[in-house]
């Protein structure tokens, strides 16, 4: 019923910078990694929020069906 699962793209973050780069290049590489991690964290938080909302919605549906069945049997 609730199957729109968000796609989460994971990328390899273990790209090693060459040891002969200067400090400015290393800072840029680290800033890029931090930016990618921040974006992935945001995507994961959004997916978790969506899954939590869907779980609550499914729980409500189950409770409604259970109530209807109980009322029909009584």
Q: What is the value of pTM for the model shown? A: 0.50
At residue 1, the pLDDT reads 44
Percentage of the chain lying above the pLDDT 90 cut: 47
What pLDDT score does 61 carry?
93
Domain boundaries, the chain: 25-74
Residues 6+ apart with CB under 8 A from 5: 47
DSSP annotation string for 4-20: -PPP--------PPPTT
The string of pLDDT tens digits covering residues 31-44 is: 999 999 999 999 99
Per-residue pLDDT of the chain (74 residues; tens, 9 = 90+): 445 666 555 555 445 555 556 899 999 999 999 999 999 999 998 888 888 888 899 999 999 999 999 898 87
């Amino acid at each position: 019923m609730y199957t729109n699962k968000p796609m989460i793209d994971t990328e390899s973050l273990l790209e090693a910078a060459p040891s002969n780069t200067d400090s400015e290049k290393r800072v840029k590489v680290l800033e890029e990694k931090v930016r990618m991690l921040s974006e992935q964290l945001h995507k994961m938080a959004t997916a978790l929020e969506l899954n939590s909302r869907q779980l609550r919605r499914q729980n409500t549906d189950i409770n409604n069906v259970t109530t209807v069945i109980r009322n029909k049997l009584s």
